[in-house]
Chains A and B, each alone.
Chain A
Amino acid sequence: MKTLKLVPVNTSIGFIRHRTIAMVLSSLLVVASVFVFLANGLNFGIDFRGGTLIEASSESAVDLAALRGRLGALDLGEVQIQEFGKETDVLIRIAEKEGATDASNNLSAVEQVREELSSDFDVRRVEIVGPQVSAELIQTGIMAVLAAIASMLIYIWFRFEWQFSIGAVLALVHDVALTIGVFALLQLDFNLSILAAILTIVGYSMNDTVVVYDRVRENLRKYKKMDLAELLNIAINETLSRTVMTSVTTMLALLALYILGGEVIRGFTFAMIWGVIVGTYSSIFIASPLLMLLGVKRDWSGTQVD
């Protein structure tokens, strides 16, 4: 039986030769992401900004303008209404009132909306996050991403050499920056599950990078005299088939989730899909070429092969 090979045997693409292009491109993208983030900011969901989110579903297609009028009459402050997945479903967001200390304002708002909608809508989900909790979530969120990156840094340092750990972590920062950039650019809802996605991306991208690095280390032991650029290129090409295969299987699973998994986790899956693309790219084009820049130890004779 003839098997499918996405990457032909003996593929040899000059990844390292074109490293400058990749580096420049990535640097530009990271700078652009930072710029978009500073200019647009993130469209924080209620997890991080506080406020109320109500998902409601109706028997027939919803007239958004009419609904806006009805809820506007309740005088709840800033109310956003958008279609959610289907034209019969809506997502209503009510912003936190200035100077609130607990969720009591939001609670009465929910009661009013529930009453207003009770005749023709089914309220499917209510989420209220008070200002105290949202401030904590921002803090723990930032801490978690930093802790994840730091633990990777230490682990890779421990298992490899410091050059590898710097290279891997720069690739991670690149992935996280680009993910935040795309959310800032498209103004997608940035909530707790997106943060979970970013942490998973950190894990996934690291996974990819480690596989390439492992091969680099093996080749460093095998070819003691080979030019570093060529050695790195061989390592990337040797693992390329695996990199592509795993990205494809992961992508298949993620696409199934994105298309069929329902509206609630669509943001999460979108972030993951984006992260897999960026993570795969960075472990090929960024993580290994960075080893060129940082320079690696060539004499591995003293270390054990495990």
Chain B
Amino acid sequence: MLHFSNFKITGIALLLLLGVLFALPNFMREETRLSLPGIIPSGTLNLGLDLQGGSHLLLAVDTDTVQRERLEDLTSDIRLALRGERIGYSGLARVPSGVSVTIRDNGDMEKAASVLQGLAQPVTSSVLTSFEQRADLSVENTEGQTFVLLVTEDAIAARNTRTVQQSIEIIRRRVDELGTTEPTIQRQGEKRILVQVPGLDDPERLKALLGQTAKMNFHLVDQSVSGYEVVNGKRPPAGSRLVYTDTEPQVPYVIRRRAMVSGERLVDASVGFDPQTNAPEVNFRFDALGGRKFGEVTQANVGRPFAIVLDDKIISAPIIQTAILGGSGRITGNFSVEEANDLAILLRAGALPAPMSILEERTVGPGLGADSVAAGRIALIVGFLAVIGFMIVSYSLFGLFANVALIANLVLIMAVLSGLQATLTLPGIAGIVLTVGMAVDANVLIFERIREELASGKNPIIAIDMGYSRALSTIFDANVTTLLAAIILFQLGSGPIRGFAITLAIGIVTSVFTAFVLTRLLVSLWLRRQGKPEALPI
């Protein structure tokens, strides 16, 4: 146990050197760190949001809306297809994740079956790994002359995936506009998106930006009936519906259902100021097709009002003064500069494919984060000194060896965390402090064993040897149990708790190395100089 070949010693020394190298950037100033040559590691500990301040938002994408839209489309597809083939039908109705339709004439059944079957498309998705192309619809003749068309599981999954991916893309564009550093946006589970933005002063603005679908459309106002008449019970004309303004008090308008131009045709939006009133406004520009369409409609409706509808609220309902032919226009609502700016951001980034709701928010201000770092550092230093002192008092020279191992352990933890670019959280710091207390356990086990062997009359060198070898299996079993707990903790945890599990797990592995291997090397080197000691300073 006490023999170390030079090869082994070099290996241990190299490992420690590597540890120092990886841990060192954390103690350098930013400029020095960045001027390091490429081969020297320059990564530092990543501080978690709870330490550097920032916002963590968990969003749920309402994919049900998208599926509902799909069923609406399917219903009208069926209607068109059957009418196109002059097949009589009745009872076109929604069933759970599908549509059912009854064919009137028994003679049409075969034709109907093939027409309906023709509506099915192969599922296009990156999720499916098999080469087999599956259909997005299953068409079944359930009873009598009734067909049920069900959207397949594959199609639902593929559509949900696409919706979430598109949402992530839009969110990224919106968050990027805030100009913060290194936001993380990732899919979590099937329908959720995790957004983490470090160092944000105003999470309310972020939430406002993320909480809106930002679907903008331009509709003509139906002037055959006034909004107030409809509010008081009159039915709006077919093809028109009632929408309110987003102002206080709300003003009702009746608008045409069909959009004159869809917001998808927007290519740019920016903040401007009204040259006369100097009020903030949003300038926008359509693509070629949208511009032409907008030009045609405005030309035909000069003098009439139209409504700019954002997420089912009218933000502006101006009168068309002249035909707008250039493909660009402006929205003058009652905006503050910030509101105008945010609207421009939303329009530039595009609409979300589905509404989103916020499930969870955790925001830490930068002040609290800095306080936590300071408190954690003090606790670490004090806990560390207390343990070091106690070990020396208890085991004298051997205690000193254990302390060297403890310092090496801290360096290695820091090195692994920096190397893995793992995130250090406040519970993570707690994990390190706890490791300081528990890391010496392996040495305590070994030293107590050595004392026992000495007490039973063995000579010092044999006692040391047996102390290490006999304690090994105990050390192994004891640490595996803690490691198991850490792994389960990692599985369970989100953010900060994960940080704790990571530092705990790393600390367990490094502490076994430093306590078992490094102290043994130190003891062995000490023995080489001592020759054969009569008694041990333990």
Contact = CB atoms under 8 A, between A and B. Distances in A.
Contacts of B378: 260
B492 interface: yes
B379 A241 contact: no
Given A141-B492, A252-B390, A125 B482 contact: no
Interface stretch (A27-35, A61-69, A151-159, A178-186): A151-159
A221 interface: no
B440 A129 contact: no
Given A122-B365, A200-B489, A207-B481, A133 B359 contact: yes
A166 B378 CA distance: 41
Interface stretch (A37-45, A70-78, A242-250): A242-250
A177 B83 CA distance: 69
Nearest to B189: A136
Contacts of A10: 455
Given A124-B365, A249-B437, A257-B383, A199 B394 contact: no
Contact of B488 (A129, A144, A156): A144
A152 B484 contact: yes
Contact of A9 (B382, B395, B451, B479): B451
A258 B427 CA distance: 12
Nearest to A102: B357
Interface stretch (A261-269, A286-294, A295-303): A261-269
Closest 9 CB pairs of A and B: A203-B485, A253-B437, A256-B383, A262-B375, A250-B437, A203-B482, A253-B383, A144-B492, A124-B368
B538 A211 contact: no
Q: Which of B372, B380, B492, B493 has the most CB of A within 10 A?
A: B492
B444 interface: yes
Contacts of A1: 396-397, 537
27 contacts: A1-B397, A3-B394, A4-B394, A122-B365, A122-B367, A127-B361, A129-B360, A133-B58, A147-B491, A152-B481, A192-B493, A196-B489, A203-B484, A207-B441, A207-B478, A214-B474, A238-B452, A241-B448, A253-B438, A256-B383, A261-B375, A262-B371, A262-B379, A262-B426, A268-B427, A269-B430, A306-B473
Interface stretch (A12-20, A103-111, A225-233): A103-111
Given A102-B358, A211-B478, A203 B486 contact: yes
Contacts of B494: 192
B207 interface: yes
B477 A159 contact: yes
A252 B368 CA distance: 25
A25 interface: no
Interface of A: 1, 3-6, 9-10, 55, 57, 102-104, 107, 110-111, 114, 122-130, 132-133, 140-141, 143-144, 147-148, 151-152, 155-156, 159, 192-193, 195-196, 199-200, 202-204, 206-208, 210-211, 214-215, 218, 238-239, 241-242, 245-246, 248-257, 259-262, 264-265, 268-269, 272, 306
A264 B426 CA distance: 9
A9 B492 CA distance: 43
A207 B433 CA distance: 18
Given A152-B481, A204-B482, A102 B361 contact: no
B266 interface: no
A140 B380 CA distance: 31
B444 A260 contact: no
A246 B497 contact: no
Given A4-B394, A126-B363, A257 B386 contact: no
A200 B504 contact: yes
B485 to A, nearest CB: 3
B388 to A, nearest CB: 10
Given A107-B358, A246-B441, A206 B396 contact: no
Contacts, number: 239
Contacts of A215: 474
Contact of A196 (B359, B371, B396, B500): B500
Nearest to A206: B481
B364 A124 contact: yes
B204 interface: yes
Interface in B468-483: 470, 473-474, 477-483
Q: Which of A114, A248, A250 has the most CB of B within 10 A?
A: A250
- Give the interface residue-count category, chain B: 35 or more
A249 B538 contact: no
B395 to A, nearest CB: 6
B436 interface: yes
Contacts of B436: 253
Contacts of B382: 256, 260
Contacts of B379: 256-257, 259-262
Contacts of A272: 434
Contacts of B493: 192, 196
B359 A256 contact: no
B505 to A, nearest CB: 10
Contacts of A107: 207, 211, 358, 361
A130 B360 contact: yes
Q: Which of B358, B384, B474 has the most CB of A within 10 A?
A: B474
B492 A140 contact: yes
B427 A5 contact: no
Nearest to A258: B379
A148 B485 contact: yes
B393 interface: yes
A126 B455 contact: no
Given A144-B492, A207-B482, A257 B445 contact: no
A9 B455 contact: yes
Given A199-B489, A268-B430, A214 B359 contact: no
B372 A262 contact: yes
B93 to A, nearest CB: 27
A98 B402 CA distance: 56
Contact of B448 (A132, A196, A245): A245
A199 B491 CA distance: 12
Interface in B360-418: 360-365, 367-368, 371-372, 375-376, 378-380, 382-384, 386-387, 390-391, 393-397, 399
